[in-house]
Structure 1
Amino acid sequence: MKSTNYTAVSEFLLLGLTDDPALQPFIFSLFLSMYLVTNLGNLLIILAVSSDPHLHTPMYFFLSNLSFTDLCISTTTIPKMLANIQAQDHSITYTGCLTQNGFVLDFGCLENCLLAVMAYDRFVAICHPLRYMVIMNPCHCVLLILLSLPISIVHSLLHSLMVLRLSFCTVLEIPHFFCELAQVIKLACSDTFNNSLLIYSASSLFVGIPLIGIIFSYTQIVSSLLRIPSVGGRYKAFSTCGSHLSVVSLFYGIGFGVYISSAVTDYSMKIAAASMMHIMVP
C-alpha cells in the first residue's frame, strides 16, 4: 500500500500578493492607507446614523449594520497581511487560519444577507410607500438582522467543521493574503470531495437565495418606476437605490470574477489581488 506523508499541522504560510521584496513596502503602504480610509468611512457612517435622529430610519439602520460588517471583514484579513509584511514572516497558526477563514465566511454571508435586506427595504419604500413605516417598523427591521446572524453563523460552521476533518501534507503554502477556503482545501491530502460539494451547494443556497431576492426586488422596483408618469418622479425614486445598486454590482461582480478566474486559471497571485479588491472596494 502506498504511504502518504501526513503531518500534524502547526502553521500555514500566507504567500501574499507578491514574492518580490522590492514591492513589499509599496503594498504595505497602499493597503494600510486603504484599510484606514475604509474603516474611518465605516466608523463615520455608524457614528452619523447613531447620533442624528433624522437618520433613525430603516434604510440607514441597515446601512450602519452593513458598515459594521464591512469593518469586521476587512479587520479579519488585512491586519494579518500587514503584520506579515512588516515582520517579513508569512506564517499563520493552524488555529488562526481556521479562525480567520471562519470569520471571513461568516461576515461574507452576513453581507450577502444585508444586501438582500436592503434591496427588500427599497422595494417596500418604492412599491408600497404608504405602508412603508408599517411594514418596516423597528421590530421588523431588528428581526431581519437577527435572522441574518444565525444564517451566517451556520454557513461558517458548516465549512469550518468540514475543514477540521481534513488531513494535510507537508506543503502548506497558501498563495493568498488570507486563509481562503478553497486554497486551504487544495492543500489537503485526504479526500476533499465532500468539502467541494459543500462549497457548491452552500454557495447556491447562501449566496444564490439573497441574490435572487435582490434581483426580484429590483425587478419589481423597475416595474413600479415605469408606471410613474413624470421623469423627475422616476429619477427621485430611483436615486434612493443608486448607492445600494452600485455596491451590489461591485460586490457580486468582483465576487463572480474571482470565482470564474479561479476556475479557469492557476495564476493565484492575480486571484488574490482580485479578492483584495472584493474585500476593500465595495
Structure 2
Amino acid sequence: MVKIEAPTLEEALILAAKELSCSVADVEYEIIEQPKKGFWGIGKKAAKIVATIAPVSAIPVIPEREIRRPLREHRERQEVIRPSCETRAEPKRFPLERRPKERENPREKERDALMASRESSLAPKEIESPPMSTPSASLATSKRVDALIDSNFFKEKNDIDRIAQEVEDEINLLFLNLPFKIERIRVRPFDETTLFIEFKGEDSALLIGKEGYRYKALSYLLFNWVNSKYGFMIRLEIAEFLKNQEEMIRNYLSPVIENIKKFGRGQTRPLDGVLAHIALKQLREEFPDKYVSFRLNSDNERYVIVNDFNK
C-alpha cells in the first residue's frame, strides 16, 4: 500500500502504478482528497489517494484445459453475441474502482437560485401595443408613452438601490466557490456616486493578504467592473481593514495637520496606494481652501502635499 499525492487524479494513478510496478488497470485505489484548482491560486489542493495492487483473485484466469484446445474452438466458445444498439445494456463499471459518493453542496443551490433570478430579470418583457384610435387620441397616447419611457429611463439610471442589489447578486455568484468561510457579501449605497461593498466571515481576513496586496487586487478588479458597467465608485471593506487603515492615517496626520495650520503648507511621508488615497481624502476635508494633491519623489513613491493656491 502506498500513499500518493499529485496535482491531478490521473497523475496520482500513474505515480501509484510506477511505485507498485504494475499497470494502471491493476491499481486498486481510494480517494482521500479530491484535487481543487482554487481561486487565483488560493485554496489549491492536490489529489491524495491510497493505492494497492488488485488481488490476484480479481483477475480472470483461463483454465488449463481451455488453453490446450484448438485456438479456433477456443475463440468460438469465447465469442459473445453483442446486443443491438436498441437493446445494448450499459457497460459494466470497473470493479476495482472506488468512486466517492457525491455530497450535496448547499452553496450550489444558492448559485442556482442566483442564476435563476438573474435569468428572469434579464428576460425580455412583452410590451402591449396601444389600441387603434383617432389621430388625435393616438398623438396624445404617444406623448404619454414617450413621457413614461423617459421617466422610467431616468428612474432606472438613478436607481442606485436596484444597482446595489444587482451588484450584490453578481459578486456573491462570483465568489460562491471560494474555499473560504465567508458570509454573504453585502452591497449598499454609500453616497450618490459610491457603492459600499463589505466582506465578513471567519476567513474573510485571508482576502486582505500581506500588507494588503490581495485587498488592492480585489479592489482594482471590482472597481474596473462596477465603474465601467454602472459608473459608480466603490468603497471596499474586508474584515474592517479599511476602517483600521483610516484610523491609523488619522492618527498619523494629526501632527501633520497642526504643522500645516502653523506654517500654511506641508506634506506627508511616502505612502502606499490605499493609504495615500485615504490621506488625500482626509487632508482635502481638513483643508478645503488649499491645494491638496499627490507628488512623486525620486524613488517613484507617492506622497501628499498641501499648499496655497497660486493667485
**TM-score after normalising by structure 1:** 0.25
Higher-RCO chain (CA-CA 8 Å, sequence separation at least 6): 1
Bigger CA radius of gyration: 2
Query: Which structure shows the higher strand fraction?
Result: 2
**TM-score after normalising by structure 2:** 0.23
Query: Which structure shows the higher helix fraction?
Result: 1
